[in-house]
Structure 1
Amino acid sequence: MGNIRITKLFSFETGHALYGYDGKCKNVHGHSYKLSVTVFGQPIKDNTHVKFGMVIDFTDLKKIVKEEIVDVFDHATVFNKNTPHVELAKELKDRGHNVLLVNYQPTSEMMVIDFAEKIKKRLPKSIQLHSLKLQETESSYAEWYASEN
């Protein structure tokens, strides 16, 4: 048997602001993100194994992505912690809002790199992350491919 790719789709709502940006996205706003996670590996060949024929159980992949990405970013506001937005972040946190401070500009491009690192660390040794697609709007998305990184 050869390698098979498995893809699972996720969605979450996240707010952000791009400090120093020269357009509307410098303002706090949000997106309905769609994340496609594709992994690859060989289906389990042992017919006595409970997951016989699977590369990875979709439930197991869902657990990883939910814990690392969806549950963390859903309905949160993300700011680069190295910008003056930290003052706004503190104010929002003090008012009970879910705020994430990250080490990068929270663009789709940088978020997808962050997500790839988090997911790779949690995958079983026999499974490799193939690609991620983070869709920010209906017509805009960022992609990450293992083969290019």
Structure 2
Amino acid sequence: MSNIRITKQFSFEAGHALYGYDGKCKNLHGHSYHLYVTVIGTPIADTTNVKFGMVIDFGDLKKIVKDEIVDVFDHAMIFNKNTPHLELANDLKNRGHHIILVDYQPTTEMMIIDFAEKIKRRLPNNIKLHSLKLRETATSFAEWYASDNE
């Protein structure tokens, strides 16, 4: 049976600030992120399986990505917890804002690495994460490929 790639698209809104950066993105700002998740596997050949012919049910993939990324990051402000932004983050959190503290500079590049690890941990053993594409703006995105990271 052939390997097939399945892709599902997700969207979420989030803000961030890049501490120490020398451009406009040092300021608090937000993006309408679009995440494309591609997995690879062999369609289920067992005719008695309710998911016969599927690599993975799109609903199952949706649940993984929503649980790990969309529901967590949507309408959140993301800060690197190893910067002076921690004080601002804590103040905002105490005022009821949805704050996420990460161990990295919250660039699109570093976020996609984080997302890849979160998704890989949740996929069934017979399904592999093939690639991710995280679009930050209409003209800017980062891509992660498993083949580049083996």
The TM-score with structure 2 as length reference comes to 0.99
2:10 matches 1:5: no
Provide Cα deviations, 1:10-65, integer angstroms capped at 9, x if missing partner: 00000000000000000000000000000000000000100000000000000000
Match of 2:122 in 1: 122
> Structure 1 residue 92: deviation in Å?
0.3
CA distance in 1, matches of 2:3, 2:50: 19
Pairing 1:49-60 to 2, within 5 Å after superposition: 49-60=49-60
2:109 matches 1:93: no
> Structure 1 residue 106: deviation in Å?
0.1
Match of 1:14 in 2: 14
Q: Which amino acid aligns with 2:37?
A: V
Structure 2 residue runs of 5 or longer lacking an equivalent are none
Runs of 4+ in 1 over 3 A off after TM superposition: none
Provide Cα deviations, 1:112-131, integer angstroms capped at 9, x if missing partner: 00000000000000000000
2:81 matches 1:71: no
Q: How many residues align?
A: 149
Match of 1:131 in 2: 131
Counterpart secondary structure, 1:33: strand
> Structure 1 residue 107: deviation in Å?
0.2
CA distance in 2, matches of 1:72, 1:107: 17
CA distance in 2, matches of 1:120, 1:134: 16
Structure 1 residue runs of 5 or longer lacking an equivalent are none
Counterpart secondary structure, 2:134: strand
Match of 1:46 in 2: 46
CA distance in 2, matches of 1:14, 1:31: 6
Q: Which amino acid aligns with 1:15?
A: G
Q: Which amino acid aligns with 2:138?
A: E
CA distance in 2, matches of 1:55, 1:94: 44
